[in-house]
A and B are shown apart, each in its own frame.
Chain A
Amino acid sequence: MAHTEGRLIMDPEQEEHDFTLVIDRPITEDETDRLFETTAGDATPERTTQRTLLHFVREAPSLAVAIASAVLDVEQAGLTTAGVGSNDLVDLSEIATRVGRSHESVRLLAAGKRGTGGFPAVQNGLYSWALVRAWFAGYDPEAVGSPTEDQLVYDRMIVAADHVVRARSLTHGQAGGLAALLSA
C-alpha cells in the first residue's frame, strides 16, 4: 500500500477482508497496546466481561491469508484466538457494489420509493447483508446471483477458519498429521 497525493492506493492483488477474531477473556491494557503494534493497528478490540472481539479489516490476497496472518499477529501479542466470526453489517455503498447497482438506485429501493417495499430496516446507516441478500433474492435474483456465491464462499471460509483456529487451540499448534487433511 502506498500513499500518493493523500490518497490510499491499494495493491491490485490486495483486497480488504472483514472478520472478527474472538479471545475468550477480556484483554488488558498492555495486551491492547502490544496488539496495536503486532497488527499494525488493523485490529480494534471490543471488550465484554467474558471475552474480547478483535474486529479486523485487513488487506490480503485472500480471506484465508488475511485470517491466518491475523491469528499469527495476535499470537505475537501473547494472545490465543479462540474462534473466528464474520462481519455482516453493510452500508448503502457496499450494498450498491455487491448488487451491481448505482448508489442512488439502492437508496430509492431502501426508502421504498422504488421496488416492492419491505426493504430490511436500517440503523445508523447500516444494514444486515444476510437480510438484504434475502430481499434481493425475491426482487432481483440476478443481482445477488454471483455475489451470493461469493458470500457463500465467504461464509463457508469463516466457518472453516473457525474450526481450524479451534483445532489449533486444542492441539496447541501441534496438529501433526492432521494438518495434511486440510490440503489433501
Chain B
Amino acid sequence: MISRGRHQKAEIAKALKAVTQRDGLEVEEIHRGHRWGVLRCLACRAELDIYSTPPKPEVSAKLIRKFDLNH
C-alpha cells in the first residue's frame, strides 16, 4: 500500500518537514522503483533522491539537511 504525504521513516519525515518550511525547496513523491520521491531546489533544479527503504534512515535525514544547506 502506498501512503502519500509522509515518509514512513520518522527521521526522514521530520527532516523533510523542517527543510520545506522555507520557500525554494519542494518535495515530489514518486513511489516508483526504490525511490519514494525527490527533494528539489526550485532555483537550480537539483534533486536529491529519497529512497523508500534506505538502509540507514538517519543518513538520509542528514543528507536532506545538507541539501538544504547547499541550495
List residues of A whose CB falls within 8 A of some B CB: 29-30, 32-33, 36, 40-42, 44-49, 55, 57, 87, 89, 91, 123-126
Is B18 in the interface zone, CB < 8 Å from A?
yes
Closest to A37 in B: B34
B54 at the interface (CB under 8 A from A): yes
Interface residues on B, range: 20 to 34
Question: How far does the Cβ of B32 sit from chain A's closest Cβ, in whole Å?
Answer: 7
Residue of B with least CB distance to A27:
B49
Interface positions of B (Cβ within 8 A of A): 18-19, 32-35, 44-49, 51, 53-56, 59-60, 62-63, 65-69
State the majority secondary structure of interface residues on A. mixed
Closest A residue to B34 by CB, please name it: A36
Chain B residues, Cβ within 8 Å of A47: 46-47, 49
Q: Is the CB of B49 within 8 A of A45?
A: yes
Given contacts A44-B48, A44-B49, list 6 more A-B pairs with CB under 8 A.
A29-B35, A32-B33, A47-B47, A48-B46, A49-B45, A124-B19
A47 to B71, CA, bound (A): 13
9 A-B residue pairs with CB within 8 Å: A29-B32, A30-B33, A32-B33, A41-B51, A46-B46, A47-B46, A49-B44, A87-B66, A124-B65
Q: Verify B51–A44 contact, CB threshold 8 A.
A: yes
Contact A57 B56 (CB under 8 A): yes
Are A125 and B48 in touch, CB under 8 angstroms? no
